[in-house]
Chain A
Amino acid sequence: MNFAVLQFPGSNCDQDCAHVLRNVMGYPTRLLWHKENNVGDADAVVVPGGFSYGDYLRTGSIARFSPVMGAVKEFADNGGFVLGICNGFQILCEAGLLPGALIRNRSLQFRCEHVYLKVATYDSPFTSQIPEGKLMRIPIAHGEGNYFCDANTLDEIEANDRILFQYADREGDITDHANPNGSLKNIAGICNAERNVAGMMPHPERAAESALNEKDGRLVFESLIQSLNPASTTA
């Protein structure tokens, strides 16, 4: 099972994702340069966080035009698993692989802190291995993570069980107080209608090792690995 982590100029969580996939989860992972136009032998693609192309103009808006995103779109259209994290989520929205947009945090400030996530559905390749009822503790770090879409889209996302994660308080309640950026319905992550493409603002790769005091993020990668190869067991 092979992973590819995209590398745009300005990506800065590419090495973190590769570290977790390679050294923590134990799977071959290669960095895929933005000028390449196919994803090679990858079984899943991670679009990492950072400031692709400096995020000038609008977050993710330039990255969507890169050659590698054409290849990722084709890969996704054929059912390949794609996970966008933070800037990766923004890019997938800009590229039309996910609906909606991530706009400026309502505080107008960058926010870096640990948040609690309620898992809204276990029916996805990205959440299937998370124990039922588990509240995930994972850090966020973004200035534009305020999820927004029109009312029809939101209805559709909700009706089809496409919300993956919602910001919650420590009791697991979805409150405004627990919402770090103003996202509609406290949305922290969603998937597409086919359920093979997901985006999330929190950084599971920063919460996957006991050395960093948090292992909840591992569950996202374990779910993905399990979905790719149901026979696999991860330590």
Chain B
Amino acid sequence: MSSDPSITPELISEHGLTAEEYDRIKEIIGREPNYVELGIFSVMWSEHCSYKNTRALLKGFPVESPRVLVGAGEENAGILDIGDNLAISFKIESHNHPSAVEPFQGAATGVGGIIRDIFTMGARPVCAINSLRFGDLSNSEVRRLFRGVVSGIAHYGNCFGIPTVAGEVYFDKSYEGNPLVNAFALGVLRHDQIARGAAKGVGNPVFYVGPATGRDGLAGAAFASQDLTEKSAEQQRSAVQVGDPFMEKLCMEACLELLATGAVAGIQDMGAAGLTCSTCETAARGGTGVEIDLAKVPQRSPGMTPYEILLSESQERMLIIVEKGREDEVKRIFDKWDLPWAEIGKVTDTGQMVVKNHGEVVADLPAAKLADEAPVYHREAKEPVYLDEVRSFTLEAIEDCDDPKSALEKLLEWPTIASKNWVYRQYDHMVRANTMVNPGSDAAVIRIKADSVPGGDEREDFPEKIIALAVDCNATHVYLDPYEGSKASVAECARNLACSGASPIGTTDNLNFGNPHNPELFWQLKESVRGLSEGCTAFDAPVTGGNVSLYNQNPDGAIDPTPTVAMVGVVEDEAHVTTQWFKDKGDAVILLGEPVGKGDTLCGLGGSAYLQVIHGCKNGKPPVCDLGIERTLGTTLLGLIQSDLIKSAHDCSEGGLAVALAESCFSELHGRNTPCFLGADVDLSDIKDVRSDALLFGESHGRIVISTSDIDAVKTLERAKLMGVPAQRIGTVGGDQLKVKLLNGEYAWEVAGLHDLWWNSIGNAMA
């Protein structure tokens, strides 16, 4: 194209490509690329699409189990068998950079993107969860981002009609200017409904469906793969897409209807890198070539160049390879849903991705090499210097707590621990009428019924299933020890599932880190992946896919390393569904696990919420996570639940035992403004040689607070001990107060008062 700029070193660098990468491109295609081709390589070789900095590391993840039907990296999302010819497909993905620039649309399109990944697999999306991170709420800019992100997620999910059933929100200064928005979706399908993103069948026509292509979201994938600066944010505002959940809903219904006809040979959504990525990846997977003509692509504005059309990330668009001769079925269904469609090309046997514009070739590249032969970097890793200080921290630096009463109140009010009702009441978490446990317990629980399956399942006696979902990551712990912290994120997810009555079957992860060229940040990543891999292996919960988001830093520094873990589990029977709040007066309160982790000189206080809130320091080695202990704890609890002994189960995490006890007293919500309160009388005075602060607020892993009927308490204790899990009765449910007796004194809190601090904290900050 004569009007295209000529290729200069500056232009190459502006495209985020190095001189070596440019040489590699020339080697692959045997000539200089033109401007359009340079743009294509730029997005396909961005970290977002190619995982060039992390691919080598990610090979360490466990990816296999007998349940895996589609594994990590094969397609848009993995698929796991859940029995009776049913399967689930799920994945988590980040939309951090767009949300930093334009929080509402950035977050909304993050939800849209992950939903598309799921229905592209042939599954009906049935629930969403998310993990969000922001700076300190005292900052008005942080509040603007938080408000925008939450309403963006609500806007997209609510309108689309997917329940947002769980999530986590953390507030920490390291995310100031670099919020994290990780969105997860899960879909359901039968084994025979799995769709593939491969361009199969030479001569098959290639269809474009969905709204017209505009200039929005130009090269968003490349944008997401750079550090975020004020300049880049301003320049790249156009790289943020605009979402239309209504269009996506129609597109999903039409695609599922079309897939049921058998007329589809391959299907792929146009997400990151839009038309470019979808054509090149389908051809690469199919071992074929694809030829398209951009003049046939529906366009929103006149005068768009081939470069713009190819790199646009306009939303809600799909690429569909249709069995030749069955084009009319596509037209009929998409016309029924009033959706635009266009036949834009065909599958070839050349192995080339050929892009024409009005018949003139504007790009001609080897599809498989473009998709699969991105450079792989083994980045330098160096242990960060700050860890010396972390390791030298001892408890001698701080006095034991002299006012546990106000400490617990402050912790419950701390936004990271406080109730997230300000967030989840804005999400429709019940649409599709499947949500069995609403947000506010350890994990969400949903049922899968006949209409969860695309097209509705016709079986006379549909084998209903129950699944549980949790998402976790204590990034402070990861910052202070990436390996232990990452293992612990997996363990916490598994604990949350166990507390809900589920056993884990699979994991998806979202690695949010800083710039990989910085050896200290890359070391964090490497150690984290090692920890995640061991964790997922221990719980037989293979990684089925995920996302990597690097360059989460601005001139003030990088975020705390945040490997978000989302885990899915199966509940065998409706009777096993368990919630975290106490149920009946007179029930026994039992602590499963060692009260304080053995051999930990910081007694679980390293990196704790207590140190951050009460002492204003984020320091110390975080507690060690023993995966063997965690696994035994999980299976033991599950066994107790399945024996109908357990009335409530809540794990100890941020804020430790005291926060877990308080939440067990007040977290049941009967209806609007109607919490249910049940106090407890707890005696910890038998536990000796432990500081009060560590006993109450330490965050040692492997601990769960359960309640049983008084009569079942002894049996429960015996069975736990038989399984090798330390267990002790620490109190009794009842009264209006949470009373805790320690060696050095007794403390009591009005449950209603604690609840109000916890429930209103975020709402007050946002008012």
* Co-complex (A, B): yes
List residues of chain A with CB under 8 Å of any chain B CB. 9-10, 12-13, 15-16, 18-20, 23, 49-51, 53-56, 109-116, 137, 139, 141, 143, 169-170, 177-178, 180, 203, 205-206, 209, 211-213
Q: How far is the CB of B96 from chain A (nearest CB, A)?
A: 24
Residue B436 at the chain A interface, CB threshold 8 Å? yes
Q: Which residues of A contact B710 (CB under 8 A)?
A: none
The answer to whether B432 and A16 touch across the interface, beta carbons within 8 angstroms, is: yes
A20 to B432 CA separation, bound complex (whole angstroms): 11
Q: List 18 A-B contacts (CB under 8 A).
A: A10-B246, A10-B250, A12-B159, A15-B451, A16-B433, A20-B433, A23-B450, A51-B249, A54-B245, A110-B426, A112-B428, A114-B671, A114-B672, A116-B672, A169-B674, A177-B673, A206-B430, A212-B433
Give bound CA distance, A203 to B450, whole Å: 20
B436 touches A212 (CB 8 A): yes
Decide yes or no whether B435 CB sits under 8 A from chain A: yes
Shortest CB–CB separation between residue B477 and chain A, in angstroms?
A: 32
Most chain A CB atoms below 10 A, which of B247, B337, B673: B673
Nearest-neighbor residue (CB-CB) of A7 within chain B: B253
CA distance A211 to B160 in the complex (A): 24
- In the complex, what's the smallest C-beta–C-beta distance from B284 to chain A, in angstroms? 34
* Number of chain B interface residues as a range: 35 or more
Q: Are B431 and A113 in contact (CB under 8 A)?
A: no
CA gap between A116 and B160 in the complex, in Å: 27
A177 to B245, CA, bound (A): 32
Q: Give A20 to B427 CA distance when docked, in angstroms.
A: 23
8 Å CB contact of B154 from A23, A110, A180, A213: A110
Q: B447 and A112: CB pair below 8 A? A: no
Q: Please name all residues of chain A whose beta carbon is closer than 8 Å to the beta carbon of B161 when the two chains form the complex.
A: 12-13, 50-51
Which A residues lie within 8 Å of B338 (CB)? 9
A10-B249, A51-B246, A213-B436 known; A115 and B671 CB under 8 Å? yes
* Cβ of B721 under 8 Å from chain A: no
> Is B400's beta carbon under 8 Å from chain A?
no
A16 and B762 CA atoms in complex are apart in Å by: 33
**Chain B neighbourhood of A12, CB < 8 A:** 159-161, 249, 431-432
Q: Is the CB of B244 within 8 A of A113?
A: no
A205 touches B429 (CB 8 A): no
Tell me if A9 and B246 are in contact (CB < 8 A): yes
Report whether A54 and B426 are in contact in the complex, using a CB–CB cutoff of 8 Å: no
Q: Cβ of B672 and Cβ of A211 under 8 Å apart? A: no
CB neighbours of A141 from chain B (8 A): 158, 428, 430-431
- Which of B159, B425, B450 is within 8 Å of A54, CB to CB? B159
- The reply to whether A110 and B574 contact each other, CB–CB distance below 8 Å, is no
- In angstroms, how far is the closest chain B Cβ from the Cβ of A86? 10
Residues in B neighbouring A116, C-beta threshold 8 A: 671-672, 674
Interfacial chain B residues near A139, Cβ < 8 Å: 430
A33 to chain B, nearest CB (A): 8
B449 close to A (CB within 8 Å)? yes
Complex interface: chain B residues within 8 A of A180 (CB)? 672
What is the bound-complex CA distance between A49 and B429, given in angstroms? 14
B670 contacts A by Cβ under 8 Å: yes
B contact residues around A112 at 8 Å (CB): 158, 424-430
B151 at the binding interface (Cβ < 8 Å):
yes
Q: Chain B residues near A55 (CB, 8 Å)? A: 159, 246
Q: Which residue of B lies closest to A177 (CB)?
A: B673
Q: Which of A113, A203, A206 touches B671 (beta carbons < 8 Å)?
A: A113
Q: Which residues B135-185 have CB closer than 8 A to chain A? A: 151, 154, 158-161
| Residue in chain A with minimal CB distance to B428 | A141
In order of increasing CB-CB distance, the 7 nearest A-B pairs are A12-B161, A54-B246, A114-B671, A16-B433, A141-B428, A51-B159, A15-B451
Residues of B within 8 A of A143 (CB): 158
Considering the chains assembled together, what is the distance between the CA atoms of A169 and B245 in angstroms? 34
* Contact yes or no, B428 A15, CB < 8 A: no
**What residues of chain B lie closer than 8 Å to A56, measured between beta carbons?**
246
By a CB distance below 8 angstroms, the chain B residues around A53 are 246
Which B residue sits closest to A19, measured CB to CB? B451
Inter-chain contact A211/B431, CB cutoff 8 Å? no
Which residues of the partner chain A approach B670 to less than 8 Å between Cβ atoms?
114, 137, 170
Q: Which residues of A contact B158 (CB under 8 A)?
A: 51, 110, 112, 141, 143
> Per-position contact with A for B334-362: 1 when CB-CB < 8 Å, else 0?
00011000000000000000000000000
Closest to B462 in A: A23
Given A19-B449, A56-B246, are A9 and B337 neighbors across the interface (CB < 8 Å)?
A: yes
Among B161, B247, B432, max chain A CB count under 10 A is at: B161
CA distance A203 to B161 in the complex (A): 14
Say whether B159 contacts A10, CB under 8 Å: yes
CA distance A176 to B435 in the complex (A): 28
Q: How far is the CA of A213 from the CA of B250 in the complex (A)?
A: 31
User: In the complex, given contacts A19-B433, A112-B428, A113-B672, what are 6 additional A-B residue pairs having Cβ atoms less than 8 angstroms apart?
Assistant: A12-B431, A15-B456, A51-B158, A112-B424, A139-B430, A170-B670
Q: Which residues of A contact B450 (CB under 8 A)?
A: 23
Q: Which of B236-295 contact A (CB under 8 A)?
A: 244-247, 249-250
User: CA–CA, A152 to B426, complex, Å?
Assistant: 33
Q: How far is the CA of A39 from the CA of B294 in the complex (A)?
A: 44
**Of all chain A residues, which has the CB nearest B466?**
A211
Q: Per-residue CB proximity of B645-676 to A under 8 Å, as 1/0?
A: 00000000000000000000000011111100
Given contacts A112-B427, A211-B436, A212-B433, contact A54 B244 (CB under 8 A): yes
Given contacts A139-B430, A141-B431, contact A170 B337 (CB under 8 A): no
Instruction: Determine whether the beta carbon of A169 is less than 8 Å from that of B433.
Output: no
Distance from A62 Cβ to chain B, minimum over Cβ atoms (Å): 11
Chain B residues whose CB sits within 8 angstroms of the CB of A169 once the complex forms: 673-674
Complex contacts, A54 vs chain B, CB 8 Å: 159, 244-247
- By a CB distance below 8 angstroms, the chain B residues around A212 are 433-436
Known A-B contacts A56-B246, A115-B672, A141-B158; A109 and B151 likewise in contact (beta carbons under 8 Å):
yes
In the complex the two chains form, is B433's CB within 8 Å of A206's CB?
Answer: yes
A residues less than 8 Å from B574 (CB atoms):
211
- Are B337's CB and A203's CB within 8 A? no
CA distance A15 to B574 in the complex (A): 22
What distance in Å separates the Cβ of A60 from its nearest Cβ neighbour in chain B?
14
Proximity string of chain B (394-423) to chain A, C-beta cutoff 8 Å, 1 when within and 0 when not: 000000000000000000000000000000
Closest residue of chain B to A13 (Cβ to Cβ) is: B431
In the assembly, what is the distance between CA of A54 and CA of B250, in Å?
10
Closest to A51 in B: B159
Q: Are B447 and A111 within 8 A (Cβ)?
A: no
Smallest CB separation, B329 vs chain A (Å): 18
Distance from B261 Cβ to chain A, minimum over Cβ atoms (Å) = 18
Q: Which residues of B contact A50 (CB under 8 A)?
A: 161
Q: How far is the CA of A213 from the CA of B428 in the complex (A)?
A: 17
Q: How far, in angstroms, from A143 to B673 measured CA to CA in the complex? A: 18
Report chain B residues within 8 Å CB of A109: 151, 154, 425-426
Known: A51-B246, A54-B246, A169-B673. A203 touches B451 (CB 8 A): no
Task: Report the bound CA distance from A149 to B706 in whole Å.
Answer: 51
